[in-house]
């Protein structure tokens, strides 16, 4: 099954892989996996999805597998996003700023905040004080 570039950027780990490869391409699978806190098999799974979507190319050189970013494959995503950024008529709805009485959360926080009390000093029997002074 061929995937599209939109699926490749859907996951934060895959976006991070793309970002890393854009700066350090090519990288071996092991070097790439070192940059993550997830398992090596999980990285392989994400790289496989990126490869199927055409965003990454894997080349086997001797015993190492190298990952290469193919940035031109993300042009479809760029073109799709541009249609919203270059729009002449904004599609956002205007909202009026809230007044102080229209924001109940702020008032609730003030009422729910407990008053600060001074900390009480814990007293120890003389024997415990002597033992504590050793530390």
CA angle 14, 16, 19 (to 5 degrees): 115
Residue 115 in tokens: 């008053």
Host domain of residue 19: 5-75
Residue 90 belongs to some domain of the structure:
no
Residue 88 belongs to some domain of the structure:
no
pLDDT of residue 103: 54
pLDDT of residue 7: 83
Paired with 69 in beta bridges are 56
Give the total number of structural domains in the chain: 1
Phi-psi bin for 24: left (phi > 0), alpha (psi -120 to 50), beta? alpha
> In angstroms, rounded to a whole number, what is the distance separating the alpha carbons of residues 86 and 90?
9
Residue 44 belongs to some domain of the structure:
yes
Residue 112 belongs to some domain of the structure:
no
> In angstroms, rounded to a whole number, what is the distance separating the alpha carbons of residues 126 and 29?
63
pLDDT of residue 117: 58
Residue 89 belongs to some domain of the structure:
no
Residue 42 belongs to some domain of the structure:
yes
> The sheet that has 27-28: what strands, in order across it?
27-28, 64-69, 56-61
pTM: 0.60
Calculate the CA 134 to chain-centre distance. 47
pLDDT of residue 8: 85
Q: Digits of tens for pLDDT over the chain (135 positions)?
A: 567 888 888 899 999 999 999 998 899 999 999 999 999 999 999 999 999 989 999 999 899 999 999 989 888 888 888 888 876 655 556 566 665 555 555 555 555 555 555 555 555 555 555 554 444
pLDDT of residue 44: 93
Q: What is the CATH number of the domain that holds 58?
A: 1.10.10.10
């Amino acid at each position: 099954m061929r995937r599209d570039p939109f699926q490749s950027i859907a996951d934060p780990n895959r976006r991070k892989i793309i970002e890393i490869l854009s700066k350090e391409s090519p990288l071996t699978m092991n070097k790439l996996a070192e940059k993550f806190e997830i398992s090596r098999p999980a990285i392989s799974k994400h790289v496989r999805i990126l490869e199927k979507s055409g965003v990454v190319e894997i080349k086997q050189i001797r015993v190492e597998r190298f990952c290469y970013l193919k940035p031109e494959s993300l042009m479809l995503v760029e073109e799709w996003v541009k249609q919203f950024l270059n729009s002449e008529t904004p599609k956002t709805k205007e909202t009026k700023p809230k007044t102080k009485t229209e924001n109940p959360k702020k008032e609730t926080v003030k009422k729910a905040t407990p008053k600060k009390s001074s900390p009480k000093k814990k007293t120890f029997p003389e024997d415990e004080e002597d033992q504590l002074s050793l530390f």
